[in-house]
Chain A
Amino acid sequence: MSKENVISKKEPFARMVKRDHISVGKAWAIRLIAVALSLVVAALVIVAITKQNPIEVYLGIIDGAVGSNRRIWVTIREMMVLLCIAIGLTPAFKMKFWNIGAEGQILMGGTAAAAMMIYFGEKMPNWLLLVVIFVVSGLAGLIWGVIPAIFKAYFNTNETLFTLMLNYVAMQIVTFCIVFWENPSGSNTVGIINAATKGGWFPTIFGNAYTLNVIIVLIITLVVYIYMKYSKQGYEISVVGESQNTARYAGIDVKKVIIRTMMISGAICGIAGAVIVSGASHTISTSTAGGRGFTAIIVAWMSKFNPLAMILVSGFLVFMQQGSIQVASQFGLNENASDIITGILLFFLIGCEFFINYKLEFRKKGEK
């Protein structure tokens, strides 16, 4: 390049500048715009596929998500599951431990719950069985979470891949168990467990089957929030997450914190598995977690680990998913449409953070 080339070049039209701070209102306005845009794009996609009037499609989505009492409760149930996983992941991610093994931890918890239902379904009172289910599934998730943590702490083994691989090991454990639990035999599925006795099912409270789901998840949310914000252990997690050097300097036993935090994270994800199996599906399969372990990461991350934001984000995502599943089935399309919609919404929500952290600035010519 010669010097002349440089001289003749145009100045950049606009530049990106990091914002120092942004008002809460402005930040939420940007997020709302992103949500609106994502809805428009999602609508275009749905219209392109179904060739229907977009307004009708959205009415269909609303109807699908909250159109009847039953649908409202299914949406709430799914939202609680997603929230529970996101809350479970929060301590790990706050520590910058990339636990993408929630799927596996959920499956292990779910398998443990299923096992308890199958083997003890008629042998103990339901309240006791439920307590056993929570303890055992929490333990199963805890074990699945603590294994990669131990290796991370002592050998600095990459936790992202380790937890990921454990997801598939967990899936194989599920298929292994299905061989023994098959019902009816030859179906290669477990079927509805204890369909007649409802042993190990969440009881109906205030006339609703999912009340207990809501209660449990909200309690977990509150406890984790207080733990992270006010306890000494929560403080340790934040310091380790920000800088391991500072943690050592502060006299924090980093290994211990990593292991302890992943025990908590894994256990909550395990309990989420129990909520799914005992409280909703009453069966177990390799798709019990259904990718929610991954979606929850994004929910937790985008909410900046703020529980209130997590409730909003998971509510929005589940609303759209349930709605689009309904719309898809109306047109005889398969339910994977909801993954496409989720993907589009996430792209916009992730992308809009840029406009919260940066702004564009236009150059003024200096005057002398």
Chain B
Amino acid sequence: MTLLLTFIQKAIGQGVAILFGASGEIVTEKSGNLNLGIPGIMYMGGIAGLMGAFFYEKSTETPNGAIGVLVSLLCSLIASALGGLIYSFLTITLRANQNVVGLALTTFGVGFGNFFGGSISKLAGGVGQISVQTTAAAYRTTIPGLSKIPVIGTLFFSYGFLTYLSVIVAVVMTYFLKKTRRGLNLRAVGESPATADAAGINVSKYKYVATVTGAAIAGLGGLYFVMEYLGGTWSNNGFGDRGWLAIALVILALWNPDHAIWGSFVFGGLYILYIYLPGLNRATQELVKMLPYVVTIIVLIITSKRNKQENQPPASLGEAYFREDR
């Protein structure tokens, strides 16, 4: 029982980063942009937040957790939005191939994260691993009182604020896409930019805003990982392939952020299942670690036989729009 509780709790912890990434990618894809740079952007968001907190904590004798959170949040959002802006400029304004730009951005972003993660302490004149304990502790603060309730407390109230934020973002985004005017317009842009354009919607603006916002949201996934999951430190390539799983989750969630919520927790569970399955040796553990990918592939195959029109990807996904194209 306790083991199961811990498993669920850890699964949710693993899922949060993926959920941020998936939510960010969904809003991006709804504008017709397939951003394969999201994995890189998540690295950028993570390292920028960490650097922000690091320099803040270094600059003062008695660092304050709340300020650390604000500084790192801001740095993370700016860095990942910048990644989104590079992608947007190249694909929307310069109409470059989306997949190629995305892959280049991922190369860049992962390198960016690992480079600064590995070099920041040296550049700052220090030695050893960077760590931002005060800020990380603030990120890890749970709701006082509630988290102490047995079972329910562990299950629902034992997380830092970013976990709740990830769910809120997904829920708000679902509402935005389905019930608001701008959400409708955004969906139209992703389905058929020419139609949206003829209806008086500023296609480029929508694409830019959606892509940059999406990148910023995804970047929070990286921030969550370094702050709450790793506890305010960096490990090279530690974030691994969660960014790619986030992109896979978008398809499995059929472009619905609310489906992504439970989907991300399932992914999180599969990710750590090898720790909790009894009777595994080192070799078989490695095989169990394949599960998230194998499950993704299986679901991908099953869902490739979808017929319903509403469950298809946005019709213009991956294509650049040029009004005067004939």
Using a CB–CB cutoff of 8 Å, the interface residues on chain A facing chain B are 15-18, 49, 98, 100, 151, 155-158, 160-162, 164-166, 168-169, 172-173, 175-176, 179-180, 291, 294-295, 297-298, 301-302, 332-334, 336-340, 342-344, 346-347, 350-351, 353-354, 357-358
B104 touches A161 (CB 8 A): no
Residue of A nearest to B252 (CB): A161
Residues of the B chain whose Cβ atoms lie less than 8 Å from the Cβ of A343:
104-105, 107-109, 111-112
B111 touches A161 (CB 8 A): no
The docked-state distance in angstroms from the alpha carbon of A36 to that of B148 is: 61
Residues of the B chain whose Cβ atoms lie less than 8 Å from the Cβ of A350:
90, 94, 96-97, 100-101, 104
B108 touches A151 (CB 8 A): no
Residues of the B chain whose Cβ atoms lie less than 8 Å from the Cβ of A291:
107, 110
Q: Count of chain B residues with Cβ under 8 Å from any Cβ of A?
A: 52
Residues of the A chain whose Cβ atoms lie less than 8 Å from the Cβ of B89:
351
Residues of the B chain whose Cβ atoms lie less than 8 Å from the Cβ of A16:
322, 324
A339 touches B108 (CB 8 A): yes
Main SS class of interface, B: helix
Residue of A nearest to B101 (CB): A350
A351 touches B110 (CB 8 A): no
A334 touches B99 (CB 8 A): no
A-contacting residues, B90-132, CB 8 Å: 90, 93-97, 99-101, 103-112, 114-115, 118-119, 122-123
B115 touches A333 (CB 8 A): yes
25 inter-chain pairs at a CB distance below 8 angstroms, sorted by A residue, are: A17-B324, A18-B325, A160-B99, A165-B244, A169-B290, A169-B297, A172-B293, A173-B290, A176-B283, A179-B282, A179-B283, A297-B99, A298-B104, A334-B118, A336-B114, A336-B118, A337-B115, A339-B110, A342-B108, A343-B108, A343-B111, A346-B108, A353-B96, A354-B94, A358-B95
Residues of the B chain whose Cβ atoms lie less than 8 Å from the Cβ of A151:
301, 304
Residues of the B chain whose Cβ atoms lie less than 8 Å from the Cβ of A354:
93-96
Using a CB–CB cutoff of 8 Å, the interface residues on chain B facing chain A are 36, 86, 89-90, 93-97, 99-101, 103-112, 114-115, 118-119, 122-123, 236, 241, 244, 247-248, 251, 282-283, 286-287, 289-290, 292-294, 296-297, 300-301, 304-305, 322, 324-325
Residues of the A chain whose Cβ atoms lie less than 8 Å from the Cβ of B119:
49, 333-334
Closest Cβ–Cβ distance, residue A198 to chain B (whole Å): 29
The 9 closest A-B pairs by CB, nearest first: A339-B111, A343-B108, A354-B94, A334-B118, A346-B104, A336-B115, A336-B114, A157-B304, A176-B286
A347 touches B286 (CB 8 A): no
Q: Which of A294, A301, A340 contacts B112 (CB 8 A)?
A: A340
Residues of the B chain whose Cβ atoms lie less than 8 Å from the Cβ of A160:
99
A298 touches B94 (CB 8 A): no
